[in-house]
Amino acid sequence: MDMNIKEYIESGILESYVLGVATAGESAEVERLILEYPVIQQELDAIRNSLETYALQYEKEPPAFLKNKIMESLFSEQEGVYNTQTGSIPQPVTETTESREVISLNQNTQSSAPQRSIFKMAASWVLLALSISANIWFFKNWKNSEEKVLALESQNQVLAKEGQTLKASYQEEVAILQNPDVKIIQLSGQPVAPQAKALIYFDKTKQEVYLSALSLPEVPQGKQYQLWAIVDGKPVDAGMIDSKGNILKMKSFSNAVVFAISLEDTGGSTTEAGPKGAVYVMGAV
């Protein structure tokens, strides 16, 4: 039989079987699988041990007033036995062999009744403990399932939001590419990172600069990439790069002739100071 034993064990059927609430079909299936999969028997033993441990751990001594109730009930049962057999409360009799035998028989009968009652009482406490442990188990599993559902719903919402953001970014990039006034400038890797690259979408008419398709080494802690535009022979700050993902709108320029990206301390450098870190990519307009 091809089945996922792990999923079957986690389904809760084994717990229902141990607690005696499984359907006839489920019970038959469990008993059949025990013969085929030893791990099923091991899991059943573990569940029984857990329930017994829980019952012993949380067992409570019956309240004191309950003892009086039980004893009164026992005496009432004994009196009922005498009344049924003789029609009245028994009177003292002369001690003979016969009477001793009768008394001995009655004593055995009387002593067995309390034992049965005590056994029933003990059994009821064990069943109560098992019932409590079963309820706790079902509650925990319900809570775990509920938390998993909430986590999945939250994850789906995050993915949906990311999908919408990505779609909007692609739509924006397509619109830019379809604009005949936009020039695409490829920034190639420099000696410090020959494999690095990036794209600049430069719209001279609107003086808009967009950065996309970043392929740069991971940013070390305390560092940040910065875009520069070479204007009139001098580097001008074109903005800090906060991510590698979506298309990024940078500062506007009308007469830039070169764009470059350098690695700076977090926060970047200024136009007056120019790039202080190494230049990773560069490309002419």
Amino acid making up residue 97:
T
The model's pTM is 0.43
Asked whether residue 52 falls in the same domain as residue 87, the answer is no
Could you tell me the residue range of the domain that residue 197 belongs to? 182-284
Neighbours of 29 (CB within 10 A): 16
* 186 & 275 share domain: yes
Mark whether 153 and 213 lie in a shared domain: no
Contacts of residue 261, defined as CB under 8 A and 6 or more positions apart, other chains included, come to: 187, 198, 216, 225, 226, 227, 228, 241, 279, 280, 281, 282
* 83 and 38 within one domain: no
Same domain for 190 and 144: no
Whether 71 maps to a domain, the answer reads yes
pLDDT band of 35, cuts 50, 70, 90: very high
Q: In the chain, what percentage of residues exceed pLDDT 90?
A: 31
Query: Does residue 211 share a domain with residue 142?
Result: no
Shared domain for 47 and 69, answered yes or no, is no
Instruction: Please write the tens of the pLDDT for every residue from 255-276.
Output: 899 999 999 999 999 999 999 9
Higher pLDDT: 149 or 256? It is 256
Is residue 229 assigned to a domain? yes
Residue 115 has pLDDT above 80, yes or no: no
pLDDT at 95: 45
**Residue type at 70?**
I
Count of domains forming the chain: 3
Q: How far apart are CA 13 and CA 11, in angstroms?
A: 6
- Average pLDDT in the 35-55 region? 85
Q: Are residues 272 and 206 in the same domain?
A: yes
Q: For residues 53 and 72, state if they share a domain.
A: no
Local confidence band at 157 (pLDDT 50, 70, 90 cut-offs): confident
Query: Is 51 contained in some domain?
Result: yes
242 and 189 in a common domain: yes
The answer to whether residues 77 and 130 belong to one domain is yes
